[in-house]
Chains A and B, each alone.
Chain A
């Protein structure tokens, strides 16, 4: 790994480039990486922060294909292959936990047999366990289980993965422009020649020309397609997930049956989450959709069947995202969705040159999607460079954790372990000396002041919520109670927001956190939110009026005025 500190936040504008990527999810970031590594100049535009769409909010944590083995062999095989690649190139984003598919008395044991056969056909080693052994292996699993299959499984951190891809892309010359919204596609004589962009921070608008424009905007792909005058049909469905206060389980626990609501419990970082639901929504709702209480009930009721402790365990938050399901191109009726990777070359499909859409797939196949798209760009621009993203480790994953741990000797073991978990070998860039190295900003997630400073300096943090995605500040059980005031002080010191903007920053973060808390306001979660209200409204006097007019909570001020009111009232 070179010693050069990687830096995401540069806002260098260009008038012309090879490729424009619309969308800063895992696919977009993976594309930026692949394109830049193959020698293309590219600019990524994202209207908000990285990983704010399905990448960061829709069931993204599991990464083996066993779940699809019975219903979708192709996806399963893709997942298996991509997973083994990720284990090599993104080890600091991936945790191997293994998974358990349990059969409950009300389930059909026949499915287990088919499941094992299908897994093996897809190249997944599936092993039926003695139920008694399975109960001891995973004591948190429902102890009435009558069957269990163990599969290799794991979790992937989507935020870390996206940022690592973007960092590598930037180090190869790509430009990462978050908070830059594409407002139009420039089309001349049936050729897409560039995009019109609005900088959501400065509100300036400008145009950038490119040889290829790639629509990697997930569920917003339909809207972006429409800007170019092509139809990309999306079927948005809302998927909700519930986060629990700590890791209840060590293995990923699934129900061994046809995929259904709330049938997977995934441990990740300090928490675990139960998901997901699947509710079709209107396209107009994709920016504003929120989980409802009925979904919360389903998640708890069904989740408790996997792990009974879910019933009583503390719930931190409930959040949702829209799955980027895209219409199956082979189905003439246009009513069925594709579960697979869909790469649309609009030149052959619609006669629009220079415009490509990449959609469908899974978080785990983001790299393959990027590779397929880059291959297409290569063909279009007549460049023949082989892909190397499957063999070259991402920034952060060059060295194994034990080796990195030895390099950062003077810190307390807890802080050391936390930063190595989050940043891999990039942890060595975080100051290990001075008061900030050992002063905690977020006590729940063990984030030191030095780590926050590092994120602000290098990882394109524009507000508190971006910081949360980079370092998990405010993601613990208290949802920012103690850390937000400390972190906002650092943001102000670093000039991310002016000191006078701190109340607005806090109000924005509070409202954004409240969005996920309010469907769960009973028991401990309610007590916690009351306490937060006393502190921030009662003691600090911060209230909804501190939110800048038009600011979307959780996003940067200066964001284009959104007329939608935030779901749920702010605390108090």
Chain B
């Protein structure tokens, strides 16, 4: 098999260091040597001798802002992820296993949702979690939903066969276990744009939290399973859509680049929901929106920045009458998926997000809009302003 490192273009690095300039972690945590040192520079050393691997690579949040900044098209985040996969010391951590195996944790917590949500709100329980698992007690946990999105769907979804076209919907873990209304809103929006929706027969976590905690083998298993399901879905529909920026980035880019799972045959057909919605709009589908007299602040999540597709969501939001949109400067909120849930990172995570939080508070927006589910958790906790996916905002504005 071809060495994936060779595809990272790491030799194109001109050492300009702009990646480190843009790295949210380098600024907040001096222990991290920065993307240039950890990525292309470090790789040359590691190719000589594995003893040059530095455990500080774990500080990388895989936000990909370095890759966006790089003028030489070096896939710096991938270099770091591949190095971690190859060299990082593996030690089993129950916390990391719980946080990263979202399907397992999600189905367990959903089935016990009221109890889990209640217990996770209790001080002694949080003390226990901090003490024994290393999850900071002050960190707000996402609520689990009593009924998953999938079970709701299969227990009475509106009929989907009366539309001109059908698309497949990849709901992602967060919509399934924590925020089923995002799944429902996605379906409503697509229906309003004249597209019927079907789910994949089976869906697993895209794998991003697994990679973040070093479970590369499990991530690859999920990737292969999802690949098979996506290919099956594409026999019946032209597109597989997902509302979460991170799931989209992972399935499109991380599958081939980090996990070595080939998706060339269908990469372009796995799309961000708002991007496809915009295309439907271009094709003349016009949903009817009712006025929504609120001010929202649009936050560009890191993986949205990497995809480069914020404009699609923003253009859609502009169609809602009365909606006032403030564009926040693109910056990392610090949570980076499960990163901020780990005690050793939590301080860095909050420090990274400070700028964004004060921008949000200064904006006086009533609602923050972002495609990323963990940005939502972080922003709601740290800036004290609710945060929703643009799909939810658009669905709320749908007339009738």
Contacts and interface: CB of A to CB of B under 8 A. Distances in A.
Interface of A: 139, 245-247, 267, 269-271, 309, 313-314, 412-414, 417-418, 421, 440, 443-444, 446, 476-478, 481-482, 524, 527-528, 531
12 contacts: A245-B11, A246-B11, A246-B44, A247-B47, A247-B48, A270-B47, A412-B33, A412-B56, A413-B54, A414-B54, A446-B41, A476-B41
B55 A414 contact: no
A528 B14 contact: yes
Contact of B15 (A247, A269, A413, A443): A443
Contact of A413 (B6, B16, B36, B55): B55
B388 interface: no
B292 interface: no
Contacts of B37: 440, 443
Contact of A418 (B14, B17, B45): B45
Nearest to A478: B15
Given A413-B54, A443-B36, A527-B72, A269 B48 contact: yes
B13 interface: yes
B354 to A, nearest CB: 26
- The 3 tightest CB contacts between A and B, nearest first, are A314-B11, A478-B15, A246-B44
A524 B12 contact: yes
B103 interface: no
Given A246-B43, A443-B36, A443-B41, A478 B48 contact: no
B41 A417 contact: no
A29 to B, nearest CB: 26
B5 to A, nearest CB: 10
B47 A414 contact: no
Q: Name the prevailing secondary structure of the B interface residues.
A: helix
B51 interface: yes
B44 A245 contact: yes
Contact of A477 (B13, B42, B51, B52): B13
Most buried by A among B3, B51, B53: B51
Interface string B9-24: 0011111110000000
B14 A414 contact: no
B49 interface: yes
Interface string B223-267: 000000000000000000000000000000000000000000000
Contacts of A531: 14, 16
A524 B15 contact: no
A531 to B, nearest CB: 5
B15 A481 contact: yes
A212 B14 CA distance: 51
Interface string B25-53: 00000000100110001111101110111
Contacts of A443: 15, 36-37, 41
A562 B216 CA distance: 60
A486 to B, nearest CB: 13
Contact of A444 (B41, B49, B52, B72): B41
B19 to A, nearest CB: 12
B165 to A, nearest CB: 43
B61 to A, nearest CB: 20
B122 to A, nearest CB: 41
Contact of A412 (B6, B14, B17, B54): B54
Contacts of A477: 11, 13, 15, 44
Given A313-B11, A477-B13, A481-B15, A414 B44 contact: no
A417 B49 contact: yes
Interface in B110-169: none
Given A413-B54, A481-B14, A527-B14, 13 more contacts: A139-B3, A245-B44, A246-B11, A246-B43, A267-B48, A412-B33, A414-B52, A417-B45, A446-B45, A477-B15, A478-B15, A482-B15, A528-B15
A246 B12 contact: no
Contacts of B52: 413-414, 417-418, 446
A246 B44 CA distance: 6
Contacts of A527: 12, 14, 72
Contacts of B36: 443
B23 to A, nearest CB: 14
A481 B17 CA distance: 11
Nearest to A446: B45
B12 A270 contact: no
A353 B359 CA distance: 86
A481 B16 CA distance: 9
Nearest to B10: A246
A481 B47 CA distance: 22
Interface in B179-194: none
Q: Which of A245, A314, A414 has the most CB of B within 10 A?
A: A414
Given A443-B15, A443-B36, A478-B15, A270 B48 contact: yes
Contacts of A413: 51-55
A412 B6 CA distance: 27
Nearest to B42: A414
Contacts of B3: 139
A524 B15 CA distance: 12
Contacts of B72: 527
A129 B395 CA distance: 66
B14 A478 contact: yes
B14 A270 contact: no
Contacts of B41: 443-444, 446, 476
Contacts of B33: 412, 414
Nearest to A246: B44
